[in-house]
């Protein structure tokens, strides 16, 4: 007991040396383990130095961006009065039971003409059961994106719009086509050649059914062609095929009106493109660099589909789609700040966007972020509370995974 008391006293002494007295008092009052925070806070100085080092790297890359005239300062003067936007977002949630997974997936969209109020567009939610639920997180994400893309396609087909705003990166949509043929949890799923063959055999039926569903205002994440497949392995393949068919239809027919907007980005395109080789921080996210540039404006776009502008991995990720007679020659990546009080947004598009586009985008935004996306995001959320209510409605009282005795 005496040794324990001595040890605790030593820990207290070290904590007092590392942190402010009011923080120490907070730990005691709230009965937070001093031992835990002793080990955590012992790394405080090391972490602080690393953060300062990263900030110096960001500042260095900021100067490189300025020196290469990659940032165009712009007040976006004038009033937007030409565009009608549509936009939306998706969501999913799940409950894992011992022998199946219960999920709900949804998509919401609105339209917004510049100078006018938001108007409801098409929205839908769909519950379902999946057995087995191997790779479930990846599959449910795919269901959600399918619904988002079908929502976008429905708006293109049924609304007179100049642009559809997708909540996220268009490059991420390209990456999603690789999930089936890539690795999940370190496991190789299938060969590329196999999915190409299934694509050739099923694309026509899936495409026809997608348009038939949309004509009936049906935004189901999977067509019946895919949903009714009894062989689980084949169904997983065809779920990916349906996604590729759907994405191809949007880009082929409406690519010049399809724009991705994201608040986050981990890509390092500008850092690598303009780095002179002397900085050790070549992979710092571009978002971090452009976020510290003051004022409104936008960056010069980089074409991710151009081998001269990006590294081989990004280039081949995009041109992988040639296997499906799906050639993308332009995919632009850039950043914009529409409001001095707002953050920087990552923009991806299949054509170059001009200043007039950003003026119109600013005029449907609040604090630099499109209201149409904020409203969609807030409305489409599927909370754990929502899932519990749905489970009760479906009388799902079976044991959940986490309730099992280990």
Q: For 333-346, what is each residue's pLDDT tens digit?
A: 999 999 999 999 99
Distance from C-alpha of 243 to C-alpha of 252, rounded to nearest angstrom: 14
88-92, 131-135, 195-199, 278-282 — most confident range: 88-92
Instruction: Decide if pLDDT at 321 tops 80.
Output: yes
pLDDT at residue 293 in the model: 84
pLDDT at residue 55 in the model: 73
pLDDT at residue 188 in the model: 44
pLDDT at residue 131 in the model: 81
Please state, as a whole number, how many other Cβ atoms lie within 10 Å of the Cβ of residue 171: 22
The residues that bridge with 88 in the sheet, in sequence order, are 109, 166
Distance from C-alpha of 179 to C-alpha of 8, rounded to nearest angstrom: 51
* φ and ψ at residue 395, rounded to 5 degrees: 55, 45
Q: What is the mean pLDDT of the chain?
A: 84
Residue 79 confidence class, pLDDT cut points 50, 70, 90: confident
Q: Per-residue pLDDT averaged across 179-206, rounded?
A: 71
Considering only CA atoms, which of 190, 94, 195 is closest in space to residue 140? 94
Q: Per-residue pLDDT averaged across 62-80, rounded?
A: 76
pLDDT at residue 252 in the model: 96
Task: Give the count of alpha carbons within 13 A of 124, CB side only.
Answer: 22
pLDDT at residue 33 in the model: 62
Contact partners, residue 162, CB within 8 Å, separation at least 6? 82, 83, 84, 85, 257
SS3 content of the chain, % helix, strand, coil (to 5): 50, 20, 35
Model confidence pLDDT, tens digit, residues 209-240: 999 999 999 999 999 999 999 888 888 889 99
Instruction: Decide if pLDDT at 8 tops 60.
Output: no
Instruction: Decide if pLDDT at 274 tops 60.
Output: yes
Q: Per-residue pLDDT averaged across 100-122, rounded?
A: 95
pLDDT at residue 270 in the model: 82
Instruction: Decide if pLDDT at 281 tops 70.
Output: no
Distance from C-alpha of 71 to C-alpha of 59, rounded to nearest angstrom: 14
Please check whether residue 162 is in contact with residue 83, taking contact to mean a CB–CB distance below 8 angstroms.
yes
Between residues 18 and 284, the one the model is more confident about: 284
pLDDT at residue 326 in the model: 87
pLDDT at residue 400 in the model: 62
How buried is residue 227: exposed, middle or buried, by Cβ count under 10 Å (0-12/13-18/19+)?
middle
Q: Angle CA(154)–CA(156)–CA(157) in degrees, nearest 5?
A: 65
The per-residue DSSP string of 200-260 comes to HHHHHHHHHHHHHHHHTT---SS-HHHHT---HHHHHHHHHHHHHHHHHHHHHHHGGGEEE
Residue 404 confidence class, pLDDT cut points 50, 70, 90: very low
pLDDT at residue 240 in the model: 92
Residue 180 confidence class, pLDDT cut points 50, 70, 90: low
Query: In percent, how much of the chain has pLDDT > 90?
Result: 54
* φ and ψ at residue 308, rounded to 5 degrees: -75, -15
Q: Which of 33-42, 242-251, 314-323 is least confident?
A: 33-42
Residue 403 confidence class, pLDDT cut points 50, 70, 90: very low
Instruction: Decide if pLDDT at 199 tops 90.
Output: yes
Considering only CA atoms, which of 211, 126, 299, 219 is closest in space to residue 203? 211
Helix (H) or strand (E) holding 131: none
Please check whether residue 125 is in contact with residue 222, taking contact to mean a CB–CB distance below 8 angstroms.
no
Please state, as a whole number, how many other Cβ atoms lie within 10 Å of the Cβ of residue 303: 17
Backbone dihedral region for residue 25 (phi beyond 0: left; psi -120 to 50: alpha; all else: beta): alpha
Residue 135 confidence class, pLDDT cut points 50, 70, 90: confident
* φ and ψ at residue 68, rounded to 5 degrees: -95, 10
Find out whether the peptide bond into 400 is cis, omega within 30 degrees of 0: no
Q: Which of 2-16, 184-198, 278-292 is least confident?
A: 2-16
Please state, as a whole number, how many other Cβ atoms lie within 10 Å of the Cβ of residue 205: 14
29-38, 56-65, 73-82, 169-178 — most confident range: 169-178
**pTM for this structure?**
0.83
Backbone dihedral region for residue 134 (phi beyond 0: left; psi -120 to 50: alpha; all else: beta): beta
pLDDT at residue 176 in the model: 87
Considering only CA atoms, which of 139, 245, 236 is closest in space to residue 200? 245
């Amino acid at each position: 007991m005496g040794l324990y008391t001595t040890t605790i006293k030593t820990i207290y002494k070290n904590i007092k040396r590392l942190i402010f007295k009011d923080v120490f008092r907070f730990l005691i009052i709230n009965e937070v383990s001093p031992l835990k925070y002793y080990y955590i806070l012992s790394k405080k100085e090391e972490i602080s130095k690393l953060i300062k080092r990263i900030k110096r790297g960001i500042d260095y890359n900021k100067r490189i961006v300025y020196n290469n005239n990659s940032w165009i300062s712009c007040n976006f003067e004038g009033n937007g009065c030409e565009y009608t936007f549509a936009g939306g977002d998706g969501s999913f949630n799940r409950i894992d039971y011992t022998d199946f997974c219960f999920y709900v997936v949804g998509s919401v969209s609105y339209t917004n003409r510049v100078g006018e109020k938001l108007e409801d567009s098409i929205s839908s939610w769909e519950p379902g059961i999946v057995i087995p639920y191997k790779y479930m997180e990846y599959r449910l994400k795919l269901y959600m994106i399918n619904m988002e893309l079908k929502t976008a396609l429905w708006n293109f087909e049924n609304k007179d719009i100049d642009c559809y705003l997708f909540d996220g990166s268009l490059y991420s949509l390209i990456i999603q086509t690789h999930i089936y043929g890539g690795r999940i949890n370190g496991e190789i799923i299938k060969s590329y050649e196999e999915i190409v063959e299934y694509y050739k055999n099923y694309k026509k039926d899936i495409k026809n059914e997608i348009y038939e569903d949309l004509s009936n205002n049906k935004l189901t994440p999977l067509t019946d062609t895919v949903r009714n497949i009894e062989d689980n392995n084949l169904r997983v393949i065809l779920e990916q095929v349906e996604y590729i068919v759907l994405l191809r239809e949007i880009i082929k027919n409406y690519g010049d009106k399809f724009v991705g907007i994201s608040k986050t980005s981990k890509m390092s395109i500008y850092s690598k493109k303009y780095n002179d080789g002397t900085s050790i921080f070549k992979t710092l996210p571009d978002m971090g660099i452009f976020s510290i540039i003051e004022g409104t404006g936008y960056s010069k776009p980089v074409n991710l589909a151009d081998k001269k502008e990006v590294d081989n991995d990004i280039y081949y990720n995009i041109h992988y789609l040639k296997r499906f007679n799906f050639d993308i020659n332009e995919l632009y990546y850039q950043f914009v700040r529409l409001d001095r009080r707002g953050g920087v947004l990552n923009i991806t598009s299949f054509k170059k966007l001009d200043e007039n586009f950003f003026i119109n985008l600013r005029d449907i935004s609040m604090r630099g972020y499109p209201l149409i996306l904020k409203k969609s995001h807030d409305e489409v959320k599927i909370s754990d509370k929502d899932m519990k209510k749905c489970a009760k409605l479906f009388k799902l009282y079976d044991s959940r995974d986490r309730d099992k005795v280990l």
